[in-house]
Amino acid sequence: MTKDDRYGAAGDTYGDVSTPETAKNGSDSDDGDRDAASETDATDEGATQTGGTSALPFIFARRTVKADRDALPVYVRPTTDDRLDALERELDDRFDGDDVMSLDVREAVVTAGLRNVDDVVDVMEEWGYGRR
C-alpha cells in the first residue's frame, strides 16, 4: 500500500460525482475563486447541504478526500496504529464496493470519540491522568 493509497490522493472516486456547479460551468476547475454563497456546509452528521437542496453524504459531496478538511497531525503508538489499520481493513470489508479512505476512518474515530467523551476520559484515566 502506497502513501497515496493510504491517505486517498489516488483512488478517491467519490469526488468525481457531477455537481450542479460542474454542470452549469461545464468544468471541474478548482481555482478557489468560487462564490462564498455556493460553498457547501458540512454538518456533524456527515451530510452536506447546498442552497437548500437535500443533503448529500460527505463522501459524495466532496471533490477530493482532503477537501474541506484541516490537517491535524496525530502521533500514535505502534499498538494504536495497528488497531487503526485493523479497523480500516474491517471497514473496507464491511463497506465492500466503497473506497474506504484512511482519512475518513481516522476522522470517524475522532468524531466517535467526541460523541463519547466518557470513553475518552476512561482511556486518559487508564493512561494515568487524574492521579496527581
Give the C-alpha separation, 123 to 87, whole Å: 18
pLDDT tens digits for range 13-26 = 554 544 444 444 44
Tell which of 5, 27, 61 closes a domain.
61
Q: Are residues 116 and 85 in the same domain?
A: yes
Q: Are 5 and 11 in contact (CB under 8 A)?
A: yes
Residue 131 covered by a domain: no
The whole domain housing 92 covers 71-126
Q: Which of 132, 79, 25 is nearest to 87 (CA)?
A: 79
pLDDT tens digits for range 13-69 = 554 544 444 444 444 444 444 333 333 333 445 655 545 446 889 888 888 999 889
pTM across the whole model? 0.61
